C-alpha cells in the first residue's frame, strides 16, 4: 500500500505463546482502520505496539491515544485535562488555550469547561477525552474501545461526533463490537489465531458514520457476528448444539 | 444534634469521673476530680502555656522535617530503581526497631534541648510518611502514565504532573498518622531528659504529688494533638477536593 503507515512486528510472545510472527499492519492515510476480534486475541496489544508502548517493537511515531477509560485526571478541570499534552511537554501557549476552548465547545462541553471529571456523566467524560485527543493534532489517532463503557444512545452520539471531528485522519480503532466497526471503519481487519493473522473483511461502501439502520450494514453485522462467534472452540460447540 | 453528640458523651464521662471521686473519697494526689483539674488548668495557665509552647514547637518542627525527609525519600525510591532495591528492605526492617528505645541515645547525642525531641518525632513520622507517599507514587493508574508517554512526556514531567498529584491522597493519610505520632514522640523525648515541655511538666508535677497539674498537662497535650489533627485533616480535604469521597461531603 503506497500511502499508508506500516507497523511491523517481527515476533512477540505473550504468556509463552507466539502472539505475533512477521505481522504487517497497514493503516491507509486519512482513513479509519478497525481491528475486531474476540477478547484476548491481541487487539489491544497490537494497538499498544503501534503506540510504541510495547518494548522491542518500534511504534508508528507521534500518535494520540484514546483508551477505553477516559483517563481524565481527577484533579484537573475539563479545560486543563484537554490541555494535558502541552502541559506535560511544558508549553501551554495562548494559541493552544484558544484551540482547547474551541474544541471543548465543539464537543458540546462549553458550559462544563471549569468542571472536574467527577462532576461529569460518562458521555461527557468521553467527549472531554475526545477533545484532548483532537488537541494533540497528531498524524495518527489510536482508539482502544473508546466508547464501550457508554450506554447505547450516548455511544451512538459520541461515535457520530468522533467520526465528524476525526474525518480525514488516520485512525486505528480497536473494538469488539461489530456495529461500531461497521459504522465507523473504511477498512476492517479480523484478528484470529495464534500467531495472529489479519483477515480483511468487507465494509459497506457508504460514507461514515453509517446509519445504524443501513441495510448493507445490518447484513454484514450479522455475518460478522457469526464469524466472531464461530471463531473459538466454545463458539463452535454452541453452533453444533 | 450530631455535632453535639461527642460533647454530651464527654460531659457524661466527666460527671462519672466526679461521681467516682465523691463516692470513693479517693485522695486528690491519687485521683483529682475534674473540678480540681479545671482549677489547676486555670490557676497554672501561664506555666502550662509556657511548656505547651515548647512541646508545640517540637511537634511542628518534627512534622515539617519528618514530612520533608519522608517525601524526599519516597521520591528517590520512586524515581531510581537501584536505590529501591538496596534501600527498601533496610527501610522496612528498620521499622522493627522501637524508636522509643532510641530516645535515651538521642538525648545523649543531641542534648537536653529541643533537638533531641524533634529527632524522636522525625524518626517516628519518617516511616509512615515515606511508605504512604511511596505507595501512592507506585500505584498511579498505569493508563495515565501510558497516555502521558504517548503524549511525549519525559519521566520528570510524568512524576511531577501525574504521579505526585495522584499520590497526594495517600500522602495525606500518611500525614494524618504523623499528626497523631508526632506529639507522642516529642513527649517521650521530654520524659527521657529535658528542662521544658509538657512531658517535663508531667514528670515534675508527678514527683511533687501535684497530680491535678499532671492531669492538666495531659488535657493540654490532648487538646494540642486534637487541634493538630483537625488542622491537617481540614487542610487535606481542602487541597484534595477533587477526590470523589471528599467531593460528596
Of all residues in chain B, what percent carry a pLDDT higher than 70?
97
What confidence tier does B249 reach under pLDDT thresholds 50, 70, 90? Answer: very low
Helix (H, G, I), strand (E, B) or coil at B27: coil
Query: How far, in Å, are A188, A241, B193, B205, B209 from residue B188 at the CA level?
Result: 71, 76, 9, 16, 20
Cell numbers that stand for A180 in this block: 461500531
Give dist(CA A125, CA A127) in Å, integer: 5
Q: What is the mean pLDDT of residues A171-183?
A: 91
Cα separation of B118 and B57, whole Å?
Answer: 9
In tens, the pLDDT along B107-159 reads 999 988 999 999 999 999 999 999 999 999 999 999 999 999 999 999 999 99
Q: What is the DSSP letter of B221?
A: H
Q: Would you call A116 and B149 a contact, using CB atoms and an 8 Å cutoff?
A: no
* 8 Å CB contact of B148 and A88: yes
- What are the φ/ψ torsions at residue A7 (nearest 5 degrees)? -105, 130
- Would you place residue A154 in the very low, low, confident or very high pLDDT band (cuts 50, 70, 90)? confident
| Pair A35, A178: CB distance under 8 Å | no
Contact A210, A183 (CB under 8 A): yes
B101, pLDDT greater than 90? no
Q: Compare CB distances from B242 to A51, A75, A136 and report the shortest one's residue.
A: A75
Which residues of chain A form beta strands (DSSP E)?
4-14, 17-28, 32-36, 63-66, 140-144, 170-175, 187-192, 197-201
What the block records as the C-alpha cell of A78 is 475539563
pLDDT, tens digit (0-9, with 9 covering 90-100), for A80-94 = 999 999 999 988 999
Complex confidence, ipTM: 0.87
Q: Band of the pLDDT at B77, cuts 50, 70, 90?
A: very high
pLDDT of B247 above 60: no
A177 Cα to chain B: minimum distance (Å) = 22
Task: Point out which residues pair with A142 in neighbouring strands.
Answer: A65, A172
Is the pLDDT assigned to residue A233 strictly greater than 60? no
The lowest-confidence range among A9-23, A24-38, A109-123, B133-147 is A9-23
Q: Model's pTM, two decimal places?
A: 0.83
The Cα A180–Cα B92 span in angstroms is 51
Domain map (residue ranges) of chain B: 31-239
Calpha distance B239→B130 (Å, rounded) = 20
B242 Cβ under 8 Å from any chain A Cβ: yes
Residue B94 confidence (pLDDT) above 70: yes
Mean pLDDT of chain A: 87
CB pair distance less than 8 Å for B151 and A89: yes
Q: What is the pLDDT of residue B198?
A: 95
Give the right CATH number for B31-239 from 3.80.10.10, 1.10.10.10, 1.10.3720.10, 3.90.1150.10. Answer: 1.10.3720.10
Whole-number percent of chain A with pLDDT over 70: 95
pLDDT at A236 over 60: no
Quick check: A87 contacting B, CB < 8 Å?
A: yes
The per-residue pLDDT for range A187-205, each reduced to its tens digit, is 999 998 889 888 888 888 8
pLDDT of residue B244: 63
Tell me whether strands A187-192 and A197-201 are parallel, antiparallel or unpaired.
antiparallel
The whole-angstrom distance between B3's CA and the closest CA on chain A is 28
Distances in Å between the alpha carbon of A11 and those of A36, A49, A50, B85, B202?
21, 12, 14, 31, 72
Pair B141, A70: CB distance under 8 Å: no
pLDDT at res. A221: 87
CA–CA separation, A6 vs A170, rounded Å? Answer: 12
**With bands split at pLDDT 50, 70 and 90, how would you rate the model's confidence at A228?**
confident
Amino acid at each position: 500500500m503506497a500511502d499508508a503507515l506500516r507497523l511491523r512486528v517481527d515476533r512477540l510472545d505473550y504468556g509463552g505463546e507466539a502472539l505475533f510472527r512477521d505481522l504487517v499492519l497497514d493503516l491507509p492515510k486519512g482513513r479509519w482502520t478497525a481491528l475486531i476480534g474476540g477478547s484476548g486475541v491481541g487487539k489491544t496489544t497490537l494497538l499498544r505496539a503501534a503506540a510504541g508502548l510495547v518494548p522491542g517493537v518500534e511504534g508508528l511515531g507521534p500518535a494520540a491515544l484514546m483508551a477505553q477509560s477516559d483517563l481524565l485526571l481527577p484533579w484537573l478541570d475539563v479545560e486543563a485535562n484537554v490541555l494535558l499534552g502541552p502541559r506535560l511537554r511544558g508549553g501551554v501557549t495562548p494559541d493552544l488555550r484558544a484551540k482547547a476552548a474551541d474544541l471543548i465547545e465543539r464537543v458540546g462541553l462549553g458550559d462544563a469547561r471549569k468542571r472536574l471529571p467527577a462532576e461529569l456523566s460518562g458521555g461527557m467524560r468521553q467527549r472531554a477525552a475526545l477533545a484532548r485527543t483532537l488537541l494533540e493534532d497528531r498524524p495518527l489517532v489510536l482508539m482502544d474501545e473508546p466508547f464501550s463503557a457508554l450506554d447505547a444512545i450516548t455511544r451512538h452520539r459520541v461515535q457520530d461526533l468522533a467520526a465528524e471531528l476525526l474525518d480525514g485522519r488516520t485512525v486505528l480503532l480497536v473494538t469488539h463490537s461489530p456495529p461500531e466497526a461497521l459504522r465507523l471503519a473504511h477498512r476492517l481487519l479480523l484478528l484470529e489465531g495464534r500467531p495472529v493473522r489479519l483477515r480483511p473483511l468487507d465494509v459497506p461502501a457508504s460514507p461514515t458514520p453509517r446509519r445504524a439502520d443501513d441495510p448493507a450494514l445490518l447484513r454484514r453485522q450479522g455475518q460478522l457476528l457469526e464469524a466472531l462467534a464461530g471463531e473459538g472452540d466454545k463458539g463452535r460447540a454452541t453452533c453444533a448444539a | 444534634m450530631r455535632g453535639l453528640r461527642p460533647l454530651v458523651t464527654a460531659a457524661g464521662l466527666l460527671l462519672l469521673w466526679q461521681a467516682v471521686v465523691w463516692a470513693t473519697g479517693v485522695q486528690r494526689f491519687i485521683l483529682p476530680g475534674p473540678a480540681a483539674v479545671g482549677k489547676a488548668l486555670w490557676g497554672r495557665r501561664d506555666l502550662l502555656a509556657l511548656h505547651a509552647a515548647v512541646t508545640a514547637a517540637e511537634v511542628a518542627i518534627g512534622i515539617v522535617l519528618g514530612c520533608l525527609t519522608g517525601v524526599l525519600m519516597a521520591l528517590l525510591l520512586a524515581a531510581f530503581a537501584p536505590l529501591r532495591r538496596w534501600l527498601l528492605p533496610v527501610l522496612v526492617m528498620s521499622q522493627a526497631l522501637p524508636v522509643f528505645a532510641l530516645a535515651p541515645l538521642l538525648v545523649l547525642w543531641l542534648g537536653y534541648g529541643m533537638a533531641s525531641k524533634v529527632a524522636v518525632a522525625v524518626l517516628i513520622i519518617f516511616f509512615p510518611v515515606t511508605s504512604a507517599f511511596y505507595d501512592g507514587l507506585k500505584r498511579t493508574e498505569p493508563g495515565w502514565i501510558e497516555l502521558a508517554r504517548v503524549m511525549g512526556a519525559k519521566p520528570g514531567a510524568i512524576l511531577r504532573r501525574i504521579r505526585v498529584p495522584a499520590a497526594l491522597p495517600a500522602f495525606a493519610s500518611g500525614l494524618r498518622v504523623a499528626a497523631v505520632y508526632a506529639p507522642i514522640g516529642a513527649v517521650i523525648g521530654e520524659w527521657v531528659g529535658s528542662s521544658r515541655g509538657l512531658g517535663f511538666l508531667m514528670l515534675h508535677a508527678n514527683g511533687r504529688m501535684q497530680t491535678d497539674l499532671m492531669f492538666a498537662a495531659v488535657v493540654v497535650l490532648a487538646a494540642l494533638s486534637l487541634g493538630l489533627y483537625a488542622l491537617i485533616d481540614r487542610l487535606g480535604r481542602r487541597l484534595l477536593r477533587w477526590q470523589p469521597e471528599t467531593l460528596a461531603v
